[in-house]
């Protein structure tokens, strides 16, 4: 993964003046309908890209992609490491200029109007870049002041954000005493200090344990319910399925497919998948015997995947052919299967 966008002090110029709190709802995140009627205009995507490209010398990291994110939507960029997800986020955040194409955020050009764009954004970078040696509360305070927000505004706001992040009882703890999940929630709380309409989340749960991930997803879901538009990059199919209303599958800087998780699975996979294992080195030979079974098959190093709407029926046919897998599993198709079908590779190497 590449660099991550971050807010620079000039973002404050539109977020608020040094003497005034933001004009948006200062007590909580605004309701969904207000988002679509602001700078982006009614019926327009809050983020729109046409032919968006980024080149580093001869190398093309983002290769002419088109997408449009609607207000209040949770929109995902799903793809493996190196697909160009962070680069796209950086261009949206106005911290990396595009090489080609069009890009607007709330109707504004991030390259020309970076501070105004960043005033609408909250940014959660892939790596928590909190100040480890100061208290949780002070991290939010310092960031808010850096953003030019008034002390009196921050006093109330910080209490609200700590509650949202379920960190009220940690307000006076040093950051280096927090768990990974707590740090992530604090980073998210920090990104919300200016009441952004759009939140950019770069690999939000990478490195977290399952319980911490679920807590984080719950918090993000609440933000979405409150109307915040979420842009999420991830290489986790379960995260994309949990968080995203709609997503683009990206690989090598290009869009391979676009749709809701359910729609992508319908379009690019079968309802069920039969996984059969024949033991080391035996899978490829066994796969030859499975010819014609299901709609299609994928042979992986450790197993054969048979794509069929009825996985149990497919398993019965495997056994009827006299084959005896050492293990079998019938499961529903996932975005991992979609990715495999589209690229011939597994999403997580």
Radius of gyration of the chain (CA): 23
- Assess contact for 243 and 221: CB atoms under 8 A: yes
Subset of residues 25 to 64 that bind ligand ADP, contact rule: CB under 6 A: 56, 59, 61
Q: Which is nearer to ligand ADP, 77 or 143 (CB)?
A: 77
- Torsion sign (Cα): 90, 95, 101, 103: positive
Number of amino acids touching ligand ADP (CB under 6 A): 13
User: Distance between alpha carbon 299 and the CA centroid of its chain, in Å?
Assistant: 29
What tokens does 300 get? 């992986």
Q: Which is nearer to ligand ADP, 101 or 159 (CB)?
A: 101
- Please pick, from the candidates 86, 104, 205, 317, the single residue that binds ligand ADP as defined by CB under 6 A: 86
Q: Which ranges in the chain belong to alpha helices (H)? A: 12-15, 32-36, 85-92, 114-119, 136-146, 151-164, 180-191, 210-225, 237-243, 261-268, 283-289, 311-320, 335-343
Residue 77 CB-half CA count within 13 A: 32
* Shortest distance (Å) from residue 210 CB to ligand ADP: 22
* Shortest distance (Å) from residue 280 CB to ligand ADP: 31
Candidates 80-88, 132-140, 241-249, 322-330; binding stretch for ligand ADP (CB under 6 A): 80-88
Q: Should residue 81 be labelled a site residue for ligand ADP when binding is judged by CB under 6 A?
A: yes
Q: Which is nearer to ligand ADP, 126 or 242 (CB)?
A: 126
Q: Should residue 87 be labelled a site residue for ligand ADP when binding is judged by CB under 6 A?
A: yes
Q: Which is nearer to ligand ADP, 56 or 279 (CB)?
A: 56
**Under the rule (CB under 6 A), what is the footprint of ligand ADP?**
1-2, 56, 59, 61, 79, 81-87
């Amino acid at each position: 993964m590449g660099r991550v966008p971050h807010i620079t002090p000039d973002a404050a110029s539109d977020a608020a003046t040094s003497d005034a709190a933001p004009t948006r709802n200062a007590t909580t995140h605004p309701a969904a309908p207000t988002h679509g009627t602001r700078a982006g205009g009614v019926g327009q995507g809050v983020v729109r890209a046409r032919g968006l490209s980024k080149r580093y010398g001869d190398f093309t990291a983002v290769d002419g992609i088109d997408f449009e994110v609607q207000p209040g939507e949770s929109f995902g960029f799903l793809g493996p490491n190196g697909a160009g997800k962070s680069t796209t986020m950086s261009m949206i955040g106005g911290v990396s200029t595009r090489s080609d194409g069009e890009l607007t955020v709330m109707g504004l050009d991030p390259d020309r109007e970076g501070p105004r764009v960043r005033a609408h954004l909250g940014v959660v970078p892939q790596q928590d870049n909190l100040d480890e040696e100061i208290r949780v509360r002070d991290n939010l305070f310092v960031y808010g002041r850096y953003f030019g927000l008034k002390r009196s505004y921050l006093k109330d706001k910080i209490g609200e954000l700590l509650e949202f992040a379920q960190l009220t009882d940690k307000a006076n703890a040093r950051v280096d005493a927090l768990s990974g999940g707590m740090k992530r929630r604090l980073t998210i709380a920090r990104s919300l200090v200016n009441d952004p309409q759009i939140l950019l989340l770069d690999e939000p749960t990478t490195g977290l344990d399952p319980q911490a991930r679920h807590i984080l997803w719950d918090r993000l879901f609440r933000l979405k319910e409150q109307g915040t538009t979420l842009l999420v990059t991830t290489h986790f199919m379960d995260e994309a399925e949990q968080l995203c209303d709609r997503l683009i599958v990206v690989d090598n800087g290009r869009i391979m497919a676009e749709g809701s998780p359910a729609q992508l699975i319908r379009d690019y996979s079968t309802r069920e998948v039969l996984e059969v294992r024949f033991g080391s080195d035996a899978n490829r030979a066994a796969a030859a015997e499975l010819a014609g079974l299901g709609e299609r098959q994928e042979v992986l190093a450790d197993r054969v995947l048979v794509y069929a709407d009825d996985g149990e029926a497919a398993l019965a046919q495997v056994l009827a052919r006299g084959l005896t897998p050492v293990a079998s599993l019938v499961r529903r198709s996932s975005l991992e299967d979609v990715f495999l079908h589209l690229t011939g590779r597994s999403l997580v190497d």
